[in-house]
Amino acid sequence: VIVPDETTTAPRRTRARRGEGPLLRERILDAAERLLIQTGDEDQVSIRAVADEVGVTPPSIYMHFADKRELIFAVCDKHYERFDEFVERAAAGIEDPLASLHARGRAYVQFGLENPEHYRVLFMGKPSATPASYDPQQILTSSAFAHLIEAVHRCADAGVIRGETLMVSISLWAGVHGITSLLISKPNFPWPYREELIDRVLWNLVEGVLAR
Amino acid sequence: VIVPDETTTAPRRTRARRGEGPLLRERILDAAERLLIQTGDEDQVSIRAVADEVGVTPPSIYMHFADKRELIFAVCDKHYERFDEFVERAAAGIEDPLASLHARGRAYVQFGLENPEHYRVLFMGKPSATPASYDPQQILTSSAFAHLIEAVHRCADAGVIRGETLMVSISLWAGVHGITSLLISKPNFPWPYREELIDRVLWNLVEGVLAR
DNA sequence: TGTACATCAGTGAACGCGCGTTCACTGATGTAC
DNA sequence: TGTACATCAGTGAACGCGCGTTCACTGATGTAC
């Protein structure tokens, strides 16, 4: 008689009642996110590993997600909303529009560095890794991006920056993305004064679009 | 009798003479690079595929490379030297130090976008994808980086920029990396006026470090 | 000049793996009469 | 109130795949005597 080793896998959960399907969906998302953070590697978050973590068999994942990419992306999409909230909280209460821009940038970089695997999936993956259901326009119409554009707009209204709002916004985004993704990709590069470097990059970005 | 399908694989090459091992090494590198460009996906460049492309069996790859990561990285390292040459050629003959900085940035972005898979492997991969033999200090001591630092130094000597040279250099690098990697990762994002955007980002970066 | 031997580039076959996904099914839950 | 039936969340087993890597080997090339 083979006794299953209860210590390695979660005990099998009891079947959901009718209409409680969405509950399992949440459990799957949570488990996948836990594994993503734990392993620090998207590729190690396999359907089997997630199913195991939830205490369910692999096929049941497919009742809630079309395929693997959709699952992974759903995890990161959820995270993207928290991203927006985090940045907004960091900028809240800052009157000076330039300082607000800088604070947003600081929050962006911080959030990215604190959640490198989410960031990697969202912004550093190959195009082929995005699920079919994902539309790149989503970034442009997301509230996070809208908030950035608003912040830039306020600077323009105050007359402290020059240039077209959308162009400036994307330019700033590219800037914060640059330092964030580089620090994620090359953690062992001998970065001089990490914190100071980030701050300098942020101020350089802001100063680069100042009205002359 | 099964006749091997000569059309799908290269004909078997004749064995190398003594001391001609390095020749096969070159052939392997070329084949791997060809596959990388053709498939546009590092993961599709398998040891088997490379061996097949060369017309050799998989184990023979291991006579020249310790493992797969070393092969892929060797391809991209070779490319990194061409990168340096390309940037230097673009900046050659430009007297004005600020214009030179801009030209370098332009060349950087262009080269990255023209060879997105190499760029991805070199600068956008996860740290775990780099071979054990690879030292992140290599970037800092590469001639490409030295050339950037020199260019920044010339600007500082001319008194047109402010800030510590290394800090400014990395800051500029992060900037060009940002727009390059974003364009590679999100080709389907509705970028407004791609070329103009790149140019604006570059000038913003330069203006961000101008002496006040 | 001829022969035995050493070298070593490359082979053939296999190991062992984990993966995403599919498919026919089970059986507890809820419903209709 | 009791029973036959429908529903559907989740299962068990398997398919089929391509991969990186290892290992004992072969046989043409070059060398020593």
**Tens of pLDDT, residues A89-106:** 999 999 999 999 999 999
Closest nucleotide (C1' vs CA) to B54 is C10
pLDDT at A142 over 60: yes
- Report the sign of the C-alpha dihedral through residues A158, A164, A170, A172, in that order: negative
**Whether pLDDT at B65 is above 60:** yes
B7 is written with which tokens? 């059309």
| Crossing angle between the packed helical segments A68-91 and A143-157, to the nearest 10 degrees | 30
Res A104: pLDDT: 98
> Cβ of A136 and B186 within 8 Å?
yes
Residue nearest to nucleotide C10 (CA to C1'): B60
What phi and psi values does residue B192 have, to the nearest 5 degrees? -85, 130
Q: Which of A8-17, B50-59, B124-133 has the lowest mean pLDDT?
A: A8-17
Burial of B188: CB neighbours in 10 Å, binned 0-12, 13-18, 19+: exposed
**Number of C-beta neighbours around residue A67 at 10 A:** 13
Q: What are the structure tokens assigned to B157, written together?
A: 């000597």
Is the pTM of the predicted complex or chain greater than 0.85? yes
Residues 6+ apart with CB under 8 A from A26: none
Residues with CB under 7 A from strand D: A 12-13, 15-16, 18-21, 24, 56-60, 63; B 15, 17-18, 44, 46-49, 58-59, 62, 67-68
Question: Is the predicted pLDDT of residue B4 greater than 60, yes or no?
Answer: no
Question: What pLDDT digit, counting tens, does each position of A171-191 carry?
Answer: 999 999 999 999 999 999 999
The closest of B115, B50, B48 to B78, measured between CA atoms, is B115
User: Could you check: is the Cβ of residue B10 within 7 Å of any atom of nucleic acid strand C?
Assistant: no
Residue B33 CA to its chain's centroid (Å):
12
Residue among B124, B167, B192 whose CB faces A166 most closely = B192
Residue B15: strand, helix, or coil? coil
User: What pLDDT was estimated at residue A21?
Assistant: 63
Q: Which of A120-134, A145-159, B154-168, B195-209 has the lowest mean pLDDT?
A: A120-134
